Amino acid sequence: MAGCLVGIASLITPRLVLVVMWITDYTTRAFGSWFWPTLGFLFMPTTTVAYAIAENEFSRRGQIELLGIVVIVLGVLLDLGLLGSGARARRRRRW
């Protein structure tokens, strides 16, 4: 249940949700170090949130289940879509 609420909130403000997840040790349980969450915060925050949710909620014996992989893929697509739409908007403004 908490993973669903975090996932919905991350669509609105992924970096804020990532900071809250970091404070509550949710990312530490998923990643084990500070390096990958920091890179995720800078470059792909929705994917980082999705991986943390998948690792904490949809993982058994160290392996992420199919639903967790779907969550990660959605995170990647959302990140790439958010980045792509920004570049497209900049191109439109220039012309």
Q: How far apart (Å, rounded) are the C-alpha atoms in residues 8 and 2?
A: 10
**What residue numbers bound the domain in which 43 lies?**
2-94
For 83-95, what is each residue's pLDDT tens digit? 566 666 666 766 6
Question: For residues 35 and 2, which has the higher predicted lDDT (pLDDT)?
Answer: 35
For 8-66, what is each residue's pLDDT tens digit? 776 678 888 898 999 998 888 899 889 999 999 999 999 999 999 999 999 888 789 99
Split into its structural domains, the chain has a count of 1
Assess contact for 52 and 27: CB atoms under 8 A.
yes
pLDDT for 82: 65
